[in-house]
Structure 1
């Protein structure tokens, strides 16, 4: 199993903007066959070092993660995230 985690810091971190972007991420659920699980979290601490949204996804293999990266549904999400994010960091590991 491969776990793929991305943290997003948004340009506009208002409650409405964060909720809208979290909904865009959650909307991938059930639409990408290689995506085994998805969890989207919204930061509750709001500290100086906090990111606004976390995305945790799981895949059976690296090949499935690679297929996810180029899937049309994910590509649309990338378009949205490119417009709204200030920064992002990620980690991928075997789980």
Structure 2
């Protein structure tokens, strides 16, 4: 199983919205991917409640059967649409992918 974890710091303002509004929209968009990409085994998106300056704003945890399923997800047109939006609203990103 491949586990994919991503955290983002969002811009205070982007695409005409505050960072919290973008975080909520981003969460909805990411969770909806489960409906159109069958390779997603599990997906969970959280919005940060920690006020620390080093905390990230949004976290994604997802699981895939294997690396091939993960590659299909990464290249899927619906994922690419979400990634385009996220690219416009974030100012920092960290990622970890590992096999379990």
TM over 0.5: yes
RMSD: 1.2
Paired residue total:
95
More helix by share: 2
Residue 2 of structure 1: aligned partner: 2
Match of 2:88 among 60, 80, 83: 83
Structure 1 moving runs of 4+ over 6 Å:
none
Q: Distance in 2 between matches of 1:23 and 1:62?
A: 25
Distance 2:80 2:23 in 1: 19
User: Which residue of the partner structure matches residue 47 of structure 2?
Assistant: 42
Which has the larger share of strand?
Answer: 2
CA shift, 1:30, in A, is 1.8
